[in-house]
């Protein structure tokens, strides 16, 4: 039972009684009372503690509920805040005494409860609970600045708000307490921000011209405590980020590829300016070049932070390049290097992307789970394949050559051509009566730079023996 966790009254070693000289000494007797407490408190709610008496002794007891914080560096400090202190008088009729404890909304430091008093027939006592676990409610607070970096002398505009567990904004009639600490952890700002017309409360902090550079911290207290940071630098250029978008794969049949470059300032505004793009092929297995093979360059304009690009890659399949190395036959990547300059020429950012791969084929064949795992001589055998386009190539209407090979030494071949429909191929073969082994191959004749698209599957044979089927050979699809 959770309440038994708090049988604090049975902690005899912590209890103290008095002698005739009123000096506190440890007791060796069993206390005539028991304290009951829930396993944890909830912030913003009232928690009821209970004191149970086993005798008709009289006396008094003081309950002190407080929180404290300790600091060990750079100097040792201790701060204590009494949240509730009340004295209860115990009569002969008192069997159960209710002790209401109001838990604050904001949780700071560690929470403890101290019990002390005098019970006739037992003596004086005093002891403390262990650290009380306080659960935060569903409230949550947020704080943000209008930008992440400032120069000395600039205003720092910030705002904060609190929400409940239903994500509804809280009005906070007392506002939010905002504190700003400089890089040396020195308090440079402390105000209560409040907006009676909104659940969002805003404030402004003006940085001094000689403000210390570094990371500042804003701590805001609403229904909970939250913080964020911002940076102060001597000279801040309008930095921006660059992203490059390109195709995931390039197939041998592709002649034109397209993509986009985007650039955005750190504070969210799109960048207008110029972008220079350089395209290269990086083939790790070629030995003709010490680095990537550069084949094209173009310059375009950034409008509202975006620039679309398009290049012709026909040269990559010319006889000259294929003689040096073929990007479609060995692992190769398209390298896109972008150099972006804003319209004021104040800043330049370079970004490289090499995620686009050259594929040996733009298609992929695979036998799916609907293909029969077993075959029996003299019976029909069903085959189903998936045809996947690794690039933007359409597959429907394309032809797939299916071949059933049966026998061991005296091989028999049955070939069919089937048209792709909705990315799939279906076929039914009649297995010969004397087939002791069967293999199905699938291939496509496309304009690829290297090998043709190919897949193979060998099912297992089932031999009828009485009323049982005996497994003859097993092979999984590739």
Residue predicted with more confidence, 317 or 233: 233
* Average pLDDT rounded to a whole number, residues 167-172: 81
DSSP classification of residue 402: E
Phi, psi of 59 (to 5 degrees): 160, -155
Percent of the chain with pLDDT over 70: 78
Rounded-to-integer distance, Cα 73 and Cα 69, Å = 13
* Average pLDDT rounded to a whole number, residues 355-378: 84
Which tens digits make up the pLDDT trace of 373-384? 998 888 999 999
CA distances (Å), origin 368, targets 114, 462, 475: 71, 20, 14
Length of the chain: 478
pLDDT band at 350 (very low <50, low <70, confident <90, very high): confident
Q: CB–CB of 364/446 below 8 Å?
A: no
Which tens digits make up the pLDDT trace of 270-312? 999 999 999 888 876 655 555 567 778 899 999 999 999 998 8
Phi, psi of 17 (to 5 degrees): -125, 170
| pLDDT of 23 | 36
- pTM value is 0.37
Rounded-to-integer distance, Cα 234 and Cα 346, Å = 16
Q: Could you tell me which of 198, 278, 172, 254 has the C-alpha nearest to residue 449? A: 254
| pLDDT of 461 | 84
Tokens, residue 381? 């055998």
* pLDDT of 249 over the 50 cut: yes
| Burial class of residue 343 (count of CB atoms within 10 Å of its CB; 0-12, 13-18, 19+) | exposed
Q: CB–CB of 295/316 below 8 Å?
A: yes
Residue predicted with more confidence, 267 or 429: 429
Rounded-to-integer distance, Cα 136 and Cα 133, Å = 10
pLDDT band at 388 (very low <50, low <70, confident <90, very high): confident
Q: Could you tell me which of 439, 478, 442, 441 has the C-alpha nearest to residue 459? A: 439
CB within 8 Å of 152: residues ≥ 6 apart? 207, 208, 209, 210, 211, 213, 232, 234
Rounded-to-integer distance, Cα 261 and Cα 248, Å = 15
Q: Could you tell me which of 432, 440, 464 has the C-alpha nearest to residue 371? A: 440
CB within 8 Å of 73: residues ≥ 6 apart? none
Q: CB–CB of 373/462 below 8 Å?
A: no
- Distance between terminal CA atoms of the chain? 59
DSSP classification of residue 417: E
**Rounded mean pLDDT of the chain?**
79
| pLDDT of 244 | 93
* Average pLDDT rounded to a whole number, residues 347-361: 81
Rounded-to-integer distance, Cα 375 and Cα 430, Å = 10
Q: Could you tell me which of 53, 64, 84 has the C-alpha nearest to residue 126? A: 64
* Poorest-pLDDT segment among 184-193, 402-411, 445-454: 445-454
| pLDDT of 349 | 84
Rounded-to-integer distance, Cα 94 and Cα 59, Å = 10
Which tens digits make up the pLDDT trace of 8-31? 333 333 333 333 333 343 444 567
Provide the greatest CA pair distance for the chain: 115
| pLDDT of 9 | 38
* pLDDT of 6 over the 50 cut: no
| pLDDT of 137 | 64
Q: Could you tell me which of 458, 389, 408 has the C-alpha nearest to residue 249? A: 389
* Poorest-pLDDT segment among 150-154, 324-328, 353-357, 462-466: 462-466
Percent of the chain with pLDDT over 90: 27
- Give bridge partners of residue 112 from the DSSP assignment: 66
Which tens digits make up the pLDDT trace of 64-114? 888 887 777 667 778 788 888 989 888 878 778 888 888 887 677 788 888
Phi-psi region of 197 (alpha: psi -120 to 50; beta: other; left: phi over 0): alpha
| pLDDT of 344 | 77
Rounded-to-integer distance, Cα 424 and Cα 382, Å = 13
* Average pLDDT rounded to a whole number, residues 241-254: 85
Rounded-to-integer distance, Cα 115 and Cα 132, Å = 14
| pLDDT of 212 | 92
Tokens, residue 127? 């002891």
Rounded-to-integer distance, Cα 49 and Cα 9, Å = 13
Rounded-to-integer distance, Cα 240 and Cα 301, Å = 16
Phi-psi region of 41 (alpha: psi -120 to 50; beta: other; left: phi over 0): beta
DSSP-derived 3-state class of residue 447: coil
Q: What is the layout of strands, in order, in the sheet containing 187-193?
A: 149-150, 225-232, 214-221, 176-181, 187-193
CA distances (Å), origin 165, targets 161, 199, 223: 14, 15, 12
| pLDDT of 123 | 83
* pLDDT of 216 over the 90 cut: yes
Rounded-to-integer distance, Cα 456 and Cα 402, Å = 10
| pLDDT of 188 | 94
* Average pLDDT rounded to a whole number, residues 223-230: 88
CA–chain centroid gap for 345, Å, is 36
Strands 59-71 and 110-119: antiparallel
**Other CB atoms within 10 Å distance of the CB of residue 7:** 13
Kind plus residue range of the DSSP H or E element containing 273: strand 273-283
């Amino acid at each position: 039972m959770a309440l038994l966790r708090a049988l604090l009254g049975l902690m005899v070693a912590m209890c103290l009684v008095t002698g005739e000289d009123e000096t506190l000494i440890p007791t060796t007797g069993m206390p005539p009372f028991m304290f009951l407490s829930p396993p944890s408190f909830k912030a913003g709610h009232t928690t009821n503690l209970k004191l149970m008496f086993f005798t008709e002794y009289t006396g008094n007891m003081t309950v002190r509920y407080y929180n404290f914080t300790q600091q060990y560096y750079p100097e040792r400090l201790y701060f204590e805040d009494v949240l509730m202190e009340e004295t209860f008088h115990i009569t002969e009729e008192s069997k159960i005494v209710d002790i209401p404890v109001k838990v604050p909304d904001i949780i700071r430091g560690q929470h403890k409860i101290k019990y002390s008093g005098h019970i006739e027939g037992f003596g004086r006592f005093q002891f403390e609970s262990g650290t009380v676990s306080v659960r935060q409610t569903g409230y949550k607070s947020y704080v943000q600045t209008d930008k992440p970096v400032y120069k000395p002398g600039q205003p720092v505009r910030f705002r904060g708000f609190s929400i409940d567990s239903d994500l509804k904004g809280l009005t906070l009639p007392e506002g939010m307490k905002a504190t700003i600490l400089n890089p040396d952890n020195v308090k440079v700002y402390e105000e209560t921000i409040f907006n009676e017309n909104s659940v969002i409360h805003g404030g402004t902090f003006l940085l001094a011209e000689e403000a210390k550079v570094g990371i500042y911290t804003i701590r805001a207290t609403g229904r909970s405590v939250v913080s964020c940071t911002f940076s102060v630098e001597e000279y801040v250029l309008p930095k921006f980020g660059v992203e490059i978008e390109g195709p995931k794969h390039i197939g041998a049949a592709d002649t034109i590829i397209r993509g986009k470059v985007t650039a955005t300032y750190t504070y969210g505004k799109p960048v207008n300016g110029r972008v220079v793009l350089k395209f290269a092929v990086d083939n790790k297995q070629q030995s003709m070049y010490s680095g990537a093979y550069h084949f094209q360059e173009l310059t375009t304009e950034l409008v509202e932070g975006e620039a679309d690009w398009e290049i012709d890659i026909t040269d990559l399949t010319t006889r000259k390049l294929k003689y040096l190395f073929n990007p479609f036959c060995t692992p190769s990547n398209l390298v896109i290097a972008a150099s972006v300059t804003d319209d004021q020429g104040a800043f330049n950012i370079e970004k490289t992307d090499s995620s686009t791969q050259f594929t040996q084929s733009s298609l992929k064949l695979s036998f799916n789970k609907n293909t029969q795992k077993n075959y029996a001589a003299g019976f029909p055998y069903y085959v189903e394949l998936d045809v996947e386009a690794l690039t933007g190539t359409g597959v429907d209407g394309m032809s797939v050559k299916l071949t059933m090979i049966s026998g061991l030494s005296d091989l028999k071949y049955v070939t069919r051509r089937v048209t792709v429909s909705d990315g799939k191929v279906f076929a039914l073969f009649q297995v010969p009566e004397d087939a002791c082994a069967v293999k199905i191959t699938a291939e496509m004749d496309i304009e690829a730079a290297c090998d043709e698209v190919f897949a193979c599957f060998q099912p297992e044979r089932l031999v009828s023996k009485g009323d049982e089927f005996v497994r003859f050979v097993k092979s999984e699809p590739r």
